[in-house]
Amino acid sequence: MKPFVPLVFAAFSLGACGNYSNEDLDFQLALPEDGELDAKLPQALTRDDSSEYYTLTRKVVTTFNGCAAGLVSLVDRVRSYSPSSRNGAERIWGPFADDKHPGWQIRVVMVRLADPSVPPPAFQISYSFQLRDTTQSGSAFFDLMTGNYKSSDSARRGKGNMHLDVQTARNAGYPADDFGETAQLDLAYQTAQYPITVHMEIQNVATATDRQATYDYAENADGSGALVFHLTVDSVPGATGARDVKFTSRWSGSGAGRADAYVSTGNVPVGIDCWGQDTVADYVWRWNGQGNYGSAGLCAFGAPAL
Amino acid sequence: MRRAGRHLTRAGPRVGLFLALLLTPALASAQRRFALVAGNDVGGADTRPLLFASEDARRFHAVLTQLGGVAPGDSDLLINRRADELLGSLASLESRIAAAQSHGERTVLIVYYSGHAKDGDLRLGNSRLSFAAVKARLAAAPANIRVGIFDSCHSGIVTRGKGARRAPAFEIEATGSQETRGLVLLSSASADEEAQESDEIGGSYFSQYLVSGLRGDADRSGDRRVTLSEAYAYAYARTVAETAESAAGAQHPTFSFDLKGNADLVLTDLTSRREGLYVPASAPAGTYYLIDASGFIAAEVVKPADADRQIALPPGRYRVRRRLADRLRIGEIRVAEGQLHTLDESRLRDAPFSDDPIKGGRRDQDVKLSLALGVTVQAFFDAPTRDGLFPPTGLLSAELQVRNFFRRGWLLALDLAGGSARGQVTRLDTPLPFRFSEFTAGMSLASEWPLWDNRLFPYAGLRLAYLLLGRKFEDRTIPDQYFSTFSPGLVAGVRYRLWGGFAALARARAHYLLYNVDENRSLGYWELSAGLSYDF
């Protein structure tokens, strides 16, 4: 009887195929969705008379969201397709030919990690977006991006991080033209509870004017939020010797907000804008006194803690 | 009981010593004849359906009405009917016989039964009628001559008693009266034998040879009339000879009589219908088989050397076969209305045995095709599977059913079904609703048992299904999923004949399914169906 059972399994396994899997869902849920890590400003539009720093905040938010979306899009194949192979706790998508770069292959590898601090049904999953130069015989896949996700009480809520290593890809000959001057990008996020936070660090190539940028975004349940943008540059125009620009923007759920700009490592304030729900400035202060008006008492927020 | 099968049986042992008859044949034209002909393929519990009982009855009825002087209005043909219906029909004939006799007509009543018999009873579906009761009824019937012919297992029980014989012919003792009157009973097998059927000849041995003899091959006197004793002698000899080598052993027809008078009974008058086949004396001796369009033997002609033979046949095309030691001689003839076709040996050709036109094809006529439409509810036994993987589903189904294709009583079914349902899988408190869809194609092979006079048909068997299962998530960021596999299972159901060709169906299935995407898991699911079928 015993040899009969494997034979039956083998016979019906031959006819059985598909991607109908509940476990695959965990892998797909582990990845941040498009827009999930976006910074969200309550107002969607700017006006001609919108506050200068509100407008600048929108631009920073747009840049931040673009970087996050670019990173997330690398692993979009995981959501678009079912795994190409399953091996225990590992799932592999691909390899696929890189349509934009002939001769290169792409694959995504995801592994469910055994972590005592994350007892089932919670899960921790690591993943990597890998490249391989098929024109080089014997070449192996290397990581362009790696990530990790640890679920909370909900599959889609948890902590995660992503690391993009464009420089390694460039060194391997990959035409990383889509990544501009970026050398490395790190992103860490927490969506398990409010405030939702996203920390992003961008390290550009050595020849870039902007060396490094850091974003810290926080989102509260009531729609209020904050974005701190820290840029390291060769020089700050109008501020001799300055190397850093720090821009702290906060807003309430209604849309009123405040942004403070600093330069150099001494956190020297160079400007303040406070705006109302209409995005028009109620209070403006510049270090050189040009265009100042209004009263700081009209601001929705006080000075940021530095 | 009667044995159904490939080489099949209906009667008893040793050849007797009597030879045929002594009497002056009574002309059929001088009598008014009534006939009750019944055939029943089904014998109820503990019997297997017969293959050809109803067909035997039809053929016997045909020969009586074509050549036997029985007017169609004076005969009843009962196919697969109950005992009370048979008795009702008999009562109706008896009253008409009594009426005819009151007008001075001499009457003959012929009762023929082909079907199961067991434990002293005729088995008509689930109803029973004892041989003793039938015999008593015949004995008391008002007709001048009553002839009972029983083609069923152990039917020799009806001939037990006075005058019972198991012999190639019977002798009627003259008592001086010019008019024969009384009772004759013929059985296809002795009381301890089974009656046999044959796929090859497409009927029971006894009935086949009785009919063949009545069509002319039993006319040993050459007077173009076949008497009861000639027909019996012929059927007896052929039945014993053909069943001698069968697995069930030789089958011996029997007879009994209680007659007064000196005239034998002419059963068929070959001069009443001209169409048929004439085998001239110049034709080679041997047995000529006349094969109808279904591939079965319609009649046989045993032609001796230097003698001619004539057999009556309904108009139509027939293939002729004569078997030689190393080959066949085959050809085709057409019997036209009112025409006697003369066999021309030169128009037969040699053929290898593989070209034998006798294919046992009567079975093809039993093949029945049905189309069933219905609704099905399906669910997996395992609750977690049902809740998060494959939800309970409603399906619309269509099924093509072929009966008696591989063998009688077997059902081959091909089915298609499709349906959908809403489901939801929850992963770590994250509900993911989806639309589940399913398509199945299946093939079933089942055995069917007719009950309640062929109205109720329980069946059970095996099924192999192909399933294509899929789900689309409401969250469109999750790709569609599918799973396809083969699934073996069991099927059981019941079909209840309603009216016309329609029948109601109820069915249950239980299936095994190997799920192997996340891991190898043996799952099972059940299905309940209800529907309506139509027999073509």
- Give per-residue pLDDT as tens, A104-126: 999 999 999 987 877 878 889 99
Indicate if ipTM > 0.85.
no
Chain B residues close to A121, C-beta within 8 Å: 427-428
Q: How far apart are CA A151 and CA A160, in angstroms?
A: 8
Q: What is the pLDDT of residue B148?
A: 92
A111 with A125: CB under 8 angstroms? Answer: yes
Chain B residues close to A16, C-beta within 8 Å: 483-486, 514-516
Chain B touched by A178 (CB under 8 Å): no
Please confirm whether the linkage preceding A83 is cis (ω < 30° from 0).
no
User: Cβ–Cβ of A155/B430 closer than 8 Å?
Assistant: yes
Exposed/middle/buried for residue A138 (C-beta within 10 Å: 0-12, 13-18, 19+):
exposed
Query: Domains (ranges, CATH) in chain B?
Result: 2-269 (3.40.50.1460), 276-362 (2.60.40.1120), 367-535 (2.40.160.20)
**Quick one: closest CA in A to B514, which residue?**
A12
**Quick one: closest CA in A to B522, which residue?**
A9
Which among B484, B518, B520 has CB closest to A23?
B518
Q: What is the pLDDT of residue B96?
A: 93
User: Cβ–Cβ of B516/A122 closer than 8 Å?
Assistant: no
What is each CA distance from B400 to B67, B431, B444, B498, B530, in whole angstroms?
42, 40, 10, 18, 15
Chain B residues close to A33, C-beta within 8 Å: 477
Query: Of B282, B285, B286, B275, which Cα lies nearest the Cα of B333?
Result: B275
User: How near does any CA of chain A get to the CA of B421, in Å?
Assistant: 16
Cα angle, residue B233 at apex, residues B228 and B236 outer, rounded to 5°: 120
Q: Report H helices in A104-183.
A: 166-171
User: Cβ–Cβ of A122/B477 closer than 8 Å?
Assistant: no
Interface A:B, Cβ pairs < 8 A:
94
Chain A touched by B516 (CB under 8 Å): yes
A159 with A149: CB under 8 angstroms? Answer: yes
Interface test with B, best of A5, A24, A25, A108 (most B CBs within 10 A): A25
Q: How far apart are CA B108 and CA B265, in angstroms?
A: 9
Q: What is the pLDDT of residue B165?
A: 53
Q: How far apart are CA B185 and CA B173, in angstroms?
A: 15
Q: What is the pLDDT of residue B443?
A: 96
Q: What is the pLDDT of residue A240?
A: 61
User: Cβ–Cβ of B428/A80 closer than 8 Å?
Assistant: no
Interface test with B, best of A8, A12, A78, A156 (most B CBs within 10 A): A12
User: How near does any CA of chain B get to the CA of A242, in Å?
Assistant: 45
Chain B residues close to A79, C-beta within 8 Å: 477-479
Exposed/middle/buried for residue B455 (C-beta within 10 Å: 0-12, 13-18, 19+):
middle
Chain B touched by A24 (CB under 8 Å): yes
Q: What is the pLDDT of residue A236?
A: 58
Report how far apart the first and last C-alpha atoms of chain A are (Å, whole number). Answer: 75
Query: Of B400, B498, B398, B510, which Cα lies nearest the Cα of B457?
Result: B498
Which among B389, B469, B486 has CB closest to A22?
B389
Chain A touched by B481 (CB under 8 Å): yes
Q: What is the pLDDT of residue B263?
A: 65
Report how far apart the first and last C-alpha atoms of chain B are (Å, whole number). Answer: 30
Which among B389, B428, B514 has CB closest to A16?
B514
**Quick one: closest CA in A to B471, which residue?**
A20
Cβ neighbours around B194 below 10 Å, total: 25
The tens digit of pLDDT for each residue in A31-43 reads 888 888 999 988 6
Name the range with the highest mean pLDDT among A84-93, A297-306, B296-305, B391-400. Answer: B391-400
Q: How far apart are CA B65 and CA B71, in angstroms?
A: 6
**Quick one: closest CA in B to A14, which residue?**
B485
Q: What is the pLDDT of residue A265?
A: 64
Query: What values do phi and psi take at B467, rounded to 5?
Result: -115, 135
User: Cβ–Cβ of A25/B478 closer than 8 Å?
Assistant: yes
User: Cβ–Cβ of B432/A25 closer than 8 Å?
Assistant: yes
Chain A touched by B464 (CB under 8 Å): no
Chain B touched by A17 (CB under 8 Å): yes
Mean pLDDT of chain A: 87
Q: What is the pLDDT of residue A283?
A: 96
Chain A touched by B518 (CB under 8 Å): yes
Chain A touched by B521 (CB under 8 Å): no
Chain B touched by A86 (CB under 8 Å): yes
Range A291-297 average pLDDT: 92
Chain A touched by B437 (CB under 8 Å): no
Q: What is the pLDDT of residue B304?
A: 87
Chain A touched by B500 (CB under 8 Å): no
Rounded to 10°, the helix B228-243/B205-212 angle is 140
User: Cβ–Cβ of B517/A9 closer than 8 Å?
Assistant: no
User: How near does any CA of chain A get to the CA of B463, in Å?
Assistant: 14
Q: How far apart are CA A231 and CA A216, in angstroms?
A: 12
Q: How far apart are CA B319 and CA B291, in angstroms?
A: 5
pLDDT tens string, chain B, 536 residues long: the values are: 555 444 433 333 333 333 333 334 444 446 899 999 999 988 877 777 788 888 899 999 999 998 888 998 999 999 989 999 999 999 999 999 999 989 888 899 999 999 988 888 889 888 899 988 988 999 899 999 999 999 988 777 766 654 445 566 555 443 444 567 788 888 888 877 777 877 767 788 899 899 989 998 888 888 888 988 888 888 888 888 888 777 777 788 888 877 776 667 888 988 887 788 999 999 999 888 888 876 667 888 888 888 888 888 888 899 898 888 888 888 999 998 888 899 998 999 988 776 665 544 444 446 789 999 999 999 999 998 998 899 999 999 999 999 888 777 889 999 999 999 999 999 888 899 999 999 999 999 999 888 876 788 999 999 999 999 999 999 888 889 999 999 999 999 999 988 878 999 999 999 999 998 888 889 999 999 999 999 88
Q: What is the pLDDT of residue B405?
A: 80
Range A279-295 average pLDDT: 92
The tens digit of pLDDT for each residue in A47-79 reads 888 999 999 999 999 999 999 988 888 887 667
**When comparing pLDDT for A87 and B365, which is higher?**
A87
Chain B touched by A84 (CB under 8 Å): no
Chain A residues close to B482, C-beta within 8 Å: 18-20
Extract the tokens encoding B152: 């069923």
The DSSP call for residue B472 is E
The DSSP call for residue A128 is E
Query: What values do phi and psi take at A229, rounded to 5?
Result: -115, 125
User: Cβ–Cβ of B481/A82 closer than 8 Å?
Assistant: yes
Q: What is the pLDDT of residue A238?
A: 60
Q: What is the pLDDT of residue B35?
A: 95
Chain A touched by B479 (CB under 8 Å): yes
Q: How far apart are CA B439 and CA B83, in angstroms?
A: 47
Chain B residues close to A153, C-beta within 8 Å: 428-429
Query: Of B521, B491, B437, B460, which Cα lies nearest the Cα of A12?
Result: B521
User: How near does any CA of chain B get to the CA of A220, in Å?
Assistant: 21
Which among B466, B477, B520 has CB closest to A79?
B477
Chain A touched by B478 (CB under 8 Å): yes
CA B239 to mean position of chain CA atoms: 18
SS3 letters across B253-276: CEEEEEEECCEEEEEEECCCCCCE
Cβ neighbours around B369 below 10 Å, total: 12
Q: What is the pLDDT of residue B262?
A: 61
**When comparing pLDDT for A13 and B18, which is higher?**
A13
B371 contact partners, CB below 8 Å, separation of at least 6: B398, B399, B400, B401, B533, B534, B536
Q: What is the pLDDT of residue A5?
A: 57
B469 with B438: CB under 8 angstroms? Answer: yes
Chain A residues close to B483, C-beta within 8 Å: 16-20
**Quick one: closest CA in B to A33, which residue?**
B477
**Quick one: closest CA in B to A157, which residue?**
B430
Chain B touched by A293 (CB under 8 Å): no
Chain B touched by A235 (CB under 8 Å): no
The DSSP call for residue B216 is I
**Quick one: closest CA in B to A81, which residue?**
B479
Q: State the DSSP H helix or E strand holding residue B365, giving kind and residue range, or none if neither.
A: helix B362-366
B68 with B30: CB under 8 angstroms? Answer: no
Query: Of B364, B199, B211, which Cα lies nearest the Cα of B299?
Result: B211
Interface test with A, best of B387, B390, B426, B428 (most A CBs within 10 A): B428
Q: Specify the length of chain B in residues.
A: 536
Q: Which residues of A270-304 are buried (b: 16+ CB within 10 A; e: fewer)?
A: bbbbbbbeebebbbbbebeeeeeeeeeeebbbeeb
